[in-house]
Amino acid sequence: MAAFLVSWSITTTPLAKQWHFAKRNARLYVSCDKNQTEISHENFDRRNLLLGMGGLYSSSNLPSILPAFATPIEAPDFTKCSRGTNLNTGQPLDVNCCPPLSREFIDYKLPPVKKMRFRPAAHLATKEYIAKFEKAVELMKALPADDPRNFMQQANVHCAYCNLTYEQVGDKDLRIQIHNCWHFFPWHRWYLYFYERILGKLIDDPTFGLPFWNWDNPEGMVMPAMFANSNSPLYDARRNLNHLPPAIADLAYSGKDAKHPSKIIPHNLTLMYREMIRHARHLEDFYGAKYSTGSQPNPGPGTVERGSHTAMHSWVGEATRTGEDMGNFYSAGRDTLFFGHHANVDRLWTVWQDLRGSKAKHFTDTDWLDTTFLFYDENARLVRVKVGDTMDNIRLGYDFQKVDIPWQKNKPKAHVKKSKIASTSGAPSADRVFPVKLDKVVKILVPRPKKSRSKKDKENEEELLAIEGIDVDTATFVKFDVFINDEDDDPYVLDKAEYAGCFSQLPHKNSSRVKTKIRLGLNELLEDLDCEDDEYILVTLVPIAGGEDITIGGIKIIYVS
């Protein structure tokens, strides 16, 4: 008698009255003999799912009692929120991010849009708007400490969802993390959505919208004056005092000020071009890697998250090892500038969707669309929301002030075309190097499985450099840069085609080792360097911050349609 094995579970908790693969304690043996099934309750990891391959054991032949194979992250159970312990050291954490406890929630329904909320560019905001914003924040800070709409309670919302505070529903051995994955954009959109509505309710203005810090535009790259006024409720003393106005925001910041200050603006513009156009052709590369129940946190960040987003957190945060407030995930929400920063990140999501034209703008995977989170709304009600409702900011009832987008035309130029450095460098091949600790500059030759591709080939398939098994400790700020066929060897010149991109990570309060990955688009880059016919490319990995704590598992070229 042949048989195959399926792991699945039934969950009927208040947060998940549906079939899903959450618990890891059910085994189902399905015999090929008609009408014979056997169920046993052995401890079996659902992530080791075994399923017959094709033919007789295809999904169409499974018993009707089997659930659909969807495992979206479910809204956490607040009753199981605890301060927890450092996952590396086992020591209790010295911060408690847990929200006010409520056992009841309602499923949130987007209200009809009667009046659109307007989000202005912070550097263009009027005195009247700034006064209104300051009053709203002042009132939020004055709310009772146990009110979930209180300023510190709202700051803790971000802390709880990013500091490994919540168990994954159905898999208590894993924690929820909304960064470094495909939930980065939608979770933060919901967070700002309710924060904005709370502020609007406190000042009785249904049109109030958060300002966005327009740091991708030279006109808005200086910290907005409203946040730099030490007499304002918008001010935070835990910032890098060297970066107050008139300092220009550095989108490549890595804990040290730029070696070439005059190049900050051109660097910023070409960095944005890479994040929003060159490396953002595929949904996964822009949004981040898939993350569902049973998955380890931090599967891989998207282009904006690992680049300008992280750089600006670090640039604003206190000039200390831990970088509070903005420079550390657990405390970032304590700075009102966090919301101006993320309002711009949210705007960039909308801009990217507009640039896509008729191309797909979001995932259709139910593991993404059906993911749920819990927030307190402007009436202090606990509500459950879905990722699938975040696709359109207009449907959510807010829009952004229109501003110029100069980085669209700032495609980086090659320093050297038709370089022969890959064939003359003497660098070792990738299969002889990895894994490698990134405590020094590493140069490797990476073979290209396909070369001399036609225009149609490149339209159908993106050539990507996949850097995998990036092993880091989440408690540290780390960054490394990636260069292709670079003869210049100046790691601080970034407005050139040879600079392929970066990986960076903001520190967390909770410490754990993770393995993650990034992908860098090569189609346009190789055209710019005029090396599409080359059999190898020379990849240079340059540790910028925390290299002694970074290990790279491997590098290869892949093709994705």
CA 30 to chain centre: 40
Nearest to 128, CA basis, from 192, 236, 196, 207: 207
Annotated catalytic residue 309: yes
Nearest to 184, CA basis, from 308, 298, 332, 57: 298
Dist CA 81 CA 382 (whole Å): 15
The residue with tokens 């998207």 is: 302
Annotated catalytic residue 342: yes
Catalytic residue from among 183, 342, 362, 415: 342
Catalytic residue from among 329, 339, 363, 483: 329
- Say if CB 166 and CB 81 are below 8 A apart: yes
Dist CA 348 CA 524 (whole Å): 21
123 among annotated binding-site residues: no
Dist CA 215 CA 253 (whole Å): 13
> What is the DSSP code (8-state) at residue 2?
-
Q: What are phi and psi of 523, to 5 degrees?
A: -50, -60
Is residue 11 classed as helix, strand or coil in its secondary structure? strand
Nearest to 342, CA basis, from 214, 217, 243, 218: 214
Catalytic residue from among 179, 279, 341, 508: 179
Annotated catalytic residue 188: yes
Catalytic residue from among 20, 183, 267, 313: 313
Dist CA 376 CA 153 (whole Å): 10
Nearest to 422, CA basis, from 555, 538, 532, 500: 538
- Say if CB 396 and CB 255 are below 8 A apart: no
3-state SS of the chain: helix, strand, coil percent to 5?
30, 20, 50
HSE (side-chain half, CA atoms, 13 Å) at 233: 14
Dist CA 379 CA 394 (whole Å): 22
243 among annotated binding-site residues: no
41 among annotated binding-site residues: no
* Residue count (the chain): 561
- Say if CB 278 and CB 524 are below 8 A apart: yes
Catalytic residue from among 158, 183, 267, 279: 158
Catalytic residue from among 20, 123, 183, 188: 188
Dist CA 325 CA 311 (whole Å): 14
Catalytic residue from among 20, 123, 243, 309: 309
Dihedral (C-alpha) 501, 506, 510, 511: value to the nearest 10 degrees? 40
Annotated catalytic residue 179: yes
Dist CA 446 CA 554 (whole Å): 10
Which DSSP string corresponds to 322-338?
A: S-TTTTSTTTGGGSTHH
Dihedral (C-alpha) 39, 42, 44, 49: value to the nearest 10 degrees? -20
- Say if CB 337 and CB 225 are below 8 A apart: no
Q: Which residues are catalytic?
A: 158, 179, 188, 309, 313, 329, 342
Cite the annotated binding site by residue number.
158, 179, 188, 309, 313, 342
Cite the annotated binding site for Cu cation by residue number.
158, 179, 188, 309, 313, 342
